[in-house]
Amino acid sequence: MAYGMNTFFIMGDGSVKQAGEIRAGDYMLGPDSKPHKVVSTRGDKKQLYKISFADGFYTCTADQLLCVKSAPSSGNEFINLTELYGEGGDFRQNIFGVRCGGVDFQEKPVPIDPYIMGVIMGNERYMRRVRNDSIQFPKICICNSREVRICFLTALIDTYGEICDDKLYLDFNDEGRARDTLFLVKSLGGNGWIDKKGVLVVDSLALTGYMNPCLLNVYKINIEPTLSYGAEIEKLDGTEYVSYIELEDNSLMLLDDFTMVPDCSGMVGST
């Protein structure tokens, strides 16, 4: 049981690491918003399978447990790829990956109101004066309390957002800012993707709390969260380097898109 070395996971502090960079003693974020200690890691070389979805993919071995649904409205199941393939190697059934419904990060002080910070950073003339090739949004606004993240995202929506065909579009003209905002959206339980033109498209989002985006209020858009997605599975050629990761309590871990996955122990602890 293992994940591909290049699979990205969310750590306890909200940062992102590849599986091959994770070591015993690190802490990984779980869907319960708590950090969970890594007690064991090791590398190997094995056959990998690619699990693809609309906005990304990850890789794992055939015996790695997955957290899936057999239908969007069904309960979570824990099953490995071996059980999903028939004798001829054909995929037997559709599966749906499962994302957590948002997480909470530890609250940290911010130097100015996060909405004002978002408006300032959303001002193109200001950004052209201070930016280099790519400038990312402050991590303190991306990995903070729900209230701070909602305020910051609200400003970005009001500054960049456009509504079309019941979807929210944010064109930052900057890949780093688009990725940061997608992470922010998914950390709040929403869903979206970056299209081929680099535009962030949000198709599900539920914001409640300190403030709702003026844009969404004006258009009276009610975008409900979508926490499951269709996935496709592909057997990769040859063998690749993999990483075994075991947590102290065998909790679920989070990929960088907030997909929930078990650790490599073969057991499932707190969910």
The pLDDT value given to residue 144: 93
The pLDDT value given to residue 239: 83
pLDDT digit string, tens, across residues 214-268: 555 544 444 455 565 667 788 888 888 889 999 998 889 999 989 899 998 877 7
Q: pLDDT means per 10 residues in the chain (271 residues)?
A: 92 92 94 93 90 80 84 77 62 71 89 87 58 66 91 88 85 86 90 88 72 51 54 82 90 91 80 52
> Is residue 97 within 8 Å of 228, Cβ to Cβ?
yes
> Is residue 77 within 8 Å of 70, Cβ to Cβ?
yes
The pLDDT value given to residue 212: 54
Q: Which residues contact 131 (CB under 8 A, 6 or more apart)?
A: 174
The pLDDT value given to residue 176: 84
The pLDDT value given to residue 219: 43
- Does residue 75 sit in helix, strand or coil? coil
The pLDDT value given to residue 214: 57
The pLDDT value given to residue 220: 41
Q: Please report, to the nearest 10 degrees, the dihedral formed by the alpha carbons of residues 147, 153, 157, 163 taken in order.
A: -80
Q: How far apart are CA 92 and CA 66, in angstroms?
A: 16
The pLDDT value given to residue 269: 66
Q: Which class for 62: exposed (0-12), middle (13-18), buried (19 or more C-beta within 10 A)?
A: middle
The pLDDT value given to residue 218: 45
Nearest to 187 by CA among 125, 101, 80: 101
Beta-carbon-side half-sphere exposure of residue 61 (alpha carbons within 13 Å)? 22
The pLDDT value given to residue 54: 64
Q: Which residues contact 148 (CB under 8 A, 6 or more apart)?
A: 107, 108, 110, 114, 140, 141
> Is residue 64 within 8 Å of 243, Cβ to Cβ?
no
Nearest to 230 by CA among 65, 91, 51: 51
